[in-house]
Amino acid sequence: MSTASFGSQSDVPAMISDGKRMRAVWRHKDGHGDSTQHVIDRVRTTLHGHPTWRIYVNDFVEPIVRGSEHEPPRYVYLDDKVCHAIWTSKQYNNEELRTYWPFDFDHQGNIKTGRPNRGRPAWTDGDVPEIAKGRLRGKKTYEFSGEPDVTEYAPVRPKMKTRMELEVEAEWAARKAQNAGSVSCTEGTPATADNVTTPGGTPINDTHDPDRSPPTPRTARLEKVSNLRSSPPKYPPPPPMTKPKPKQSIKDAAKVKPIPSPYSSTPVTPPKRKVGPFIDNSNPSDSSGQKRTKLDERSSSVPAPVSPTQIAASPARIAYGNQGGERSSSLPAELPPGVGRDELSEEEDFLAREYTQDTLKLC
């Protein structure tokens, strides 16, 4: 039989961290915790955990016997020492371990993956005590090392210097080397207030503090920007902007001649329509043998009335077929005598067609 390291009940603190948040310590009067299953399932993977459960870090009797008076309570958080004692007691099956202490065991009876160390550590029995180990899922081991000591925070990985910090250190080292070279070159010259400098490279008559600290990344960045502004530009400056033209009024816009567009073209006159092949243009002269003048063409633009005898004597075949039964597909007509097709204008052509149509209607 062994007792816990806390000693009596009065030595146990009121609250202990469960690895994520502070929890009240279990007392003898508390009994078993809340066993509502839907609440346990809802808070099983949350950061805050169960809202009412306490942490058990009290004395217990080894080996643990199920149903005894000293059996640890159920539905509570266990510290590392009690958790190791329950796991090695073999008094509970896998399903019972997961049901009674779901924040310490999984459904296979192993230590729950991601379980933080709590409370007191667990030690092995032997000549040389060692920290007890448990089985995790996937052939991994868990050490019951107890709650870690609260120490000053220190990052696990060493802090890497930024690019700006490295550039500032390089510039500061180059400046120190340059100042050391200037001091060695001025050893043969007489010492004056202008050429004597301090070990930091600051002249004696300088008003600044010679023991000033190295520039910070912000000052180095500002100094670099000022050097860039003083250097000549890499690209030529843009040409000066021309003044915008004043807006024209409506009267001035009316005086300005529009510029012809290269895409605009003069209206194209439609081609003259051709008269059917029944018009004879071979004889442009008059019946008297003399060529017609423009004055004669204008006077003859209006057709003369045609007598019925002329219509009867015209070679137009009015019938749709001849005596032999052959169907005719053309209706030739004649223009007034002495008028050629080439000498007709569009207006005259139109009047000639009207005359031909009237003639056919009369026939």
Q: pLDDT of the chain along its 363 residues, tens only?
A: 333 444 445 567 788 888 888 899 999 888 999 999 999 999 988 888 999 999 999 888 888 888 888 899 999 999 999 999 999 999 999 999 999 999 999 999 999 998 999 989 999 888 888 999 999 988 899 999 988 876 555 666 667 888 899 999 999 999 998 888 765 655 555 555 455 555 555 555 555 555 556 666 666 666 666 665 556 666 777 777 777 777 766 666 666 666 666 555 566 566 666 555 544 444 544 444 455 554 455 555 545 555 544 544 444 444 444 444 444 444 444 555 555 555 556 767 777 777 777 777 666
Q: d(Cα 343, Cα 336) in Å, to the nearest integer?
A: 13
What is the number of other CB atoms lying within 10 angstroms of the CB of residue 317?
13
The residue among 175, 266, 257 whose CA lies nearest residue 214 is 175
Total residue count of the chain as it appears in this document: 363
The answer to whether the bond into 63 is cis (omega within 30° of 0) is yes
Contact partners, residue 48, CB within 8 Å, separation at least 6 = 20, 21
pLDDT at residue 58, as a whole number: 87
pLDDT at residue 253, as a whole number: 62
pLDDT at residue 272, as a whole number: 66
**Is the pTM for the entire model greater than 0.75?**
no
Q: d(Cα 115, Cα 142) in Å, to the nearest integer?
A: 9
pLDDT at residue 317, as a whole number: 43
pLDDT at residue 173, as a whole number: 92
pLDDT at residue 224, as a whole number: 63
The residue among 14, 87, 79, 18 whose CA lies nearest residue 46 is 18
Q: Tokens 């004879």 belong to which residue?
A: 280
Q: Specify the amino acid at residue 108.
A: Q
Q: How far is CA 198 from the centre of its chain?
A: 55
Q: d(Cα 79, Cα 13) in Å, to the nearest integer?
A: 14
User: Mapping DSSP to helix (H, G, I), strand (E, B) and coil, where does residue 310 land?
Assistant: helix
Distances in Å between the Cα of 73 and the Cα atoms of 30, 35, 96, 135 are 9, 12, 13, 23
Q: d(Cα 84, Cα 104) in Å, to the nearest integer?
A: 10
Q: d(Cα 34, Cα 30) in Å, to the nearest integer?
A: 11
